[in-house]
Amino acid sequence: MSAARASVGLRLRRVALRQSYAFALLLLVITVAINYYLQPNFFQPGILSGNLLLFVPLMLVAAGQTVVVIGGGIDLSLGAIVSMANVVIVSLMGQESSPSQIVLALAAGFLAGTLAGALNGFCVAVLRFQPIVTTFATSFVFSGLALYVLPEPGGAMPLGLVNFFYTNPLGLPMVLWVAVIVLLLWSLLRSTRYGPYLYATGGRDLSAFVSGVPVSSVRFLSYCIAGLMAAFAALALALSTGTGNPIGGADLMLQSIVAVVLGGTRLSGGQGGVVGSIIGVVILSLIQSIVSFSGAPSSWQTLINGLIVVAALAGPGIVALLGRGRRA
């Protein structure tokens, strides 16, 4: 009897830590339900993907941020990397680009993002600088490089590519494809040795070190991955706006951290996953959609949005507090 209860407790604990997005799922259900109530045609593919398409860049940045956070770090420069990769891609392309030019531009953009991540990784993992201030400092460097490449918003993306971004391949919305591809890449990454190394490094670096995990390399690589993801986000941003913007990624950085935390990944590292962060991004978009369809006066919308986000962030803490109160 007591053994059975203990095993239920263990299982619950495992769910809470491993499927750390359990709370996020609950929020997702609630926000979907409210959206459906406010907007009965919510589930029509056009409406749904229209709502979410704007969030594709954030989804990609949040995925990269998640990898860094699991490894015990944080990256405040991802927004600037998005801007930089965005202008690199756009400035090497035009409306009439040939396929080879397109490939070259994309390669240059992805390389720029990865190298930027490598700089962060070098400072944090090898030189052992504090992640927060380091990535804040490098964000100036990347923003400066973005402005150097393209001082004013402008440029154009090949029409074919832009149009493709707004299609629904195989009848499924583009945003879903992006989410599925990100999740596939994530599960591939997790299935390599890098998966356990990353969690161990963020979870307890000393134990990882004693067990023989190359802790510095693991950290370094996590920043490179985040940089590359930011470059993918830059491409998505260029496609969704059709043009280049040297400060286009600025808002993504802080939002990506909120999405990661909403998705149940702990900022201190070693736990969580990309699945949760993607749910977190969807929740953010749904909250925004609730607020705008709620009929609240427009001047109240930001406040309501902010309060809901804080409430969502506080949720697990409140549950824990109530639990502690009951036991005492």
Partner 1 sequence: MAVVSLSAQHLVKRYGGVVALADGNLDVKSGEVLALMGANGSGKSTLGKIITGAVVPDAGRLLLDGEGVSFSSPQAARRAGISAVYQELSLVPDMTVAENIWLANEPVALGRVRRKERKERTARLLSLFENALGPSVGPDSLISALSPSDRQIVEILKALSREPRVMILDEATASLGARQVERLFELVGEWKARGMALVFISHRMEEIFQISDRATVLLSGKTVGAANLKETSEEELVGLMIEGGVAERHIEHPAEAAVERTLLLETEDLRTSVLREVSLGLTEGEILGLGGLQGQGQAELLLALFGAVPHSGTIRFAGEEVRFSHPRQAMRKGLAFVPGDRGGEGLLSIRSILENLLLPSWSRYGMFLNIRQARRDSEEVSQGLRLKMGSLDLPVSSLSGGNAQKVVLGKWLMRDPKVLLLDDPTKGVDVGAKGEFYKILSDLRQRGVAILLHSSDDEELLGLCDRVLVMRDGVMRRELSGDDLNKSALVSASVGVASSPSDSPPSGGLASGGAA
Partner 2 sequence: MRRLGLNPIVIALILAVILFVVGGIVQPGFASFGQAMNILRLAAFLGIVAAGQTLVIISGGEGIDLSVGAMITLGAILVFRIGDGQNEQALIALAISLGVGLLLGAVNGFGITLLGIPPLVMTLGMAGVVQGLILVITGGRVEGEAAPALTGLVSGSLVLGIPGVIFLWLLLGGAMWLVLQRTAYGRRLFAVGTNRVTAKLSGVRVPSVLVLTYSLSGMLAALGGVVLLGYTEQVFLNLGDPYTLPSVAAVVVGGTLLAGGMGSYFGTMAGALVLTLLTSLLTALDLPESARLIVYGVTLLLLLSLYGRQKALRQ
Residues in 146-165 that interact with partner 1 by CB under 8 A: none
Interface stretch with partner 1, choices 49-57, 202-210, 276-284, 287-295 (CB under 8 A)? 202-210
322 lies in the site for partner 2, by CB under 8 A: no
Q: Which of 58, 60, 78, 208 binds partner 1 (CB under 8 A)?
A: 208
Considering the rule CB under 8 A, would residue 259 count as an interface residue with partner 1?
no
Question: Residue 81, Cβ neighbours under 10 Å: how many?
Answer: 38
Output the six-digit token pair for 104. 């070259």
307 touching partner 2, by CB under 8 A: yes
Is 3 a binder of partner 1 (CB under 8 A)? Answer: yes
- For residue 129, the tally of other CB atoms under 10 A from its CB is 16
Stretch that binds partner 1, among 93-101, 196-204, 231-239, 308-316 (CB under 8 A): 196-204
SS3 100: helix
Three-state DSSP state, 244: strand
With respect to partner 2, which residue has the nearer C-beta, 134 or 240?
134
Reported residue count of the chain is 328
Under 8 Å between Cβ of 190 and 275: no
| Binding string, residues 234-263; x marks residues near partner 2 by CB under 8 A | --------------------x--xx--x--
CA atoms within 13 A of residue 267's CA, in its CB half-sphere: 11
Binding to partner 2 by CB under 8 A, coded x per residue (else -) over 209-228, reads x-----x-------------
Number of other CB atoms surrounding residue 313 within 10 Å: 12
Distance CA 146, CA 148 (A): 5
Instruction: For the beta carbon of residue 182, count every other beta carbon within 10 angstroms.
Output: 22
127 lies in the site for partner 1, by CB under 8 A: no
Name the site residues for partner 1 (rule: CB under 8 A).
Answer: 3, 6-7, 10-11, 13-14, 17-18, 191-193, 195-197, 199-200, 203-204, 206-208, 210-213, 270-271
